[in-house]
C-alpha cells in the first residue's frame, strides 16, 4: 500500500501527515510506504516549516529528512491512496485525475475520522503555534484510524 499526503506547500501539514503515518506504520507493523507533496511549487526542496519540525519532535517524530516536492500527475499511477488536507487541495488534485479509478484513490484526510463531512485540516502557515498542535492532533487521529484499518485488512487475509 502506497500512501501520499498532499497539501499546498508541502512544508506544514503534509510533512506532518507523512511523519505521523510512518510512525503509525511502525506502531502497527504494517507494510506501507508513505510520501507527501504540495500542489504548489513555492517551497520545492525546502525542509518542513520549523513549527512543523518542532511539533513533530515534541511528539517523538523526526521529519527533518523531508524535502518539499510538487505533486505530479504520475502520482496517481504510483500511489494507492492520496489524502488531501483541504478542499482546495482536493479540487486541485481531482482536476488532474483521468479515470474514475484515479478519483477513487483521492479523499480528504479528515473524512477518515469524520466520514462525509469534508472537514479541512486548517492551513497553519499564517497562524500561531497552537495551529500546529491542533493540526498534529487532527492528523494523529486520522493516521491512527488509517493504520488500524490497514492492520485489520492484513489480519483478515
Ligand atoms: P502547507 O502550508 O500547505 O500546509 O505546507 C503552506 C505553506 C506555504 C504556503 C501556504 C501554505 N505559502 O503560501 O507559501
pLDDT at 43: 98
If you average pLDDT over residues 119-134, what whole number do you get? 90
Model-wide pTM > 0.75: yes
Ligand 1 site, residue 51, Cβ cutoff 6 A? no
Closest Cα to atom 6, ligand 1: which residue? 9
Ligand 1 site, residue 8, Cβ cutoff 6 A? yes
pLDDT at 156: 73
Does residue 21 surpass a pLDDT of 80? yes
What pLDDT, in 10s, does the model give residues 86-122? 999 999 999 999 999 999 999 999 999 999 999 999 9
Does residue 129 surpass a pLDDT of 80? no
What pLDDT, in 10s, does the model give residues 56-74? 999 999 999 999 999 999 9
Domain ranges of the chain: 2-156
Residues with active-site annotation? 7, 13, 123
Ligand 1 site, residue 7, Cβ cutoff 6 A? yes
Ligand 1 site, residue 12, Cβ cutoff 6 A? yes
Does residue 76 surpass a pLDDT of 70? yes
Does residue 145 surpass a pLDDT of 80? yes
**Residue 68 alpha carbon to ligand 1 centre in Å:** 11
Does the domain at 2-156 match CATH 1.10.10.10? Answer given as no
In DSSP terms, which residues pair with 33 in a beta bridge?
2
Closest ligand 1 atom to 8 CA:
3
Average pLDDT, the chain: 96
pLDDT at 157: 62
Does residue 123 surpass a pLDDT of 70? yes
Hey, what's the cell of 88? 482546495
Q: Which of 8, 63, 122, 134 to mutate to test the pocket of ligand 1 (most atoms within 8 A of CB)?
A: 8
Does residue 10 surpass a pLDDT of 70? yes
Question: Please, are residues 89 and 39 in contact by the beta-carbon 8 Å criterion?
Answer: yes
Rounded CA-CA distance 40/138 in Å is 23
Amino acid at each position: 500500500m502506497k500512501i501520499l499526503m498532499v497539501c499546498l506547500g508541502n512544508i506544514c501539514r503534509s510533512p506532518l501527515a507523512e511523519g505521523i503515518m510512518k510512525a503509525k506504520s511502525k506502531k502497527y507493523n504494517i507494510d506501507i510506504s508513505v510520501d507527501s507533496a504540495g500542489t504548489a511549487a513555492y517551497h520545492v526542496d525546502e525542509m518542513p516549516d520549523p513549527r512543523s519540525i518542532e511539533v513533530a519532535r515534541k511528539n517523538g517524530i523526526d521529519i527533518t529528512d523531508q524535502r518539499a516536492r510538487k505533486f505530479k500527475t504520475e502520482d496517481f499511477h504510483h500511489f494507492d491512496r492520496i489524502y488531501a488536507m483541504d478542499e482546495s487541495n482536493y479540487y486541485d488534485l481531482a482536476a488532474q485525475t483521468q479515470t474514475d479509478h484515479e478519483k477513487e484513490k483521492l479523499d480528504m484526510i479528515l473524512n477518515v475520522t469524520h466520514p462525509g463531512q469534508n472537514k479541512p485540516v486548517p492551513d497553519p502557515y499564517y497562524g500561531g503555534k497552537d495551529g500546529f498542535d491542533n493540526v498534529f492532533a487532527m492528523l494523529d487521529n486520522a493516521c491512527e484510524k488509517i493504520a488500524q484499518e490497514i492492520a485489520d485488512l492484513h489480519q483478515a487475509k
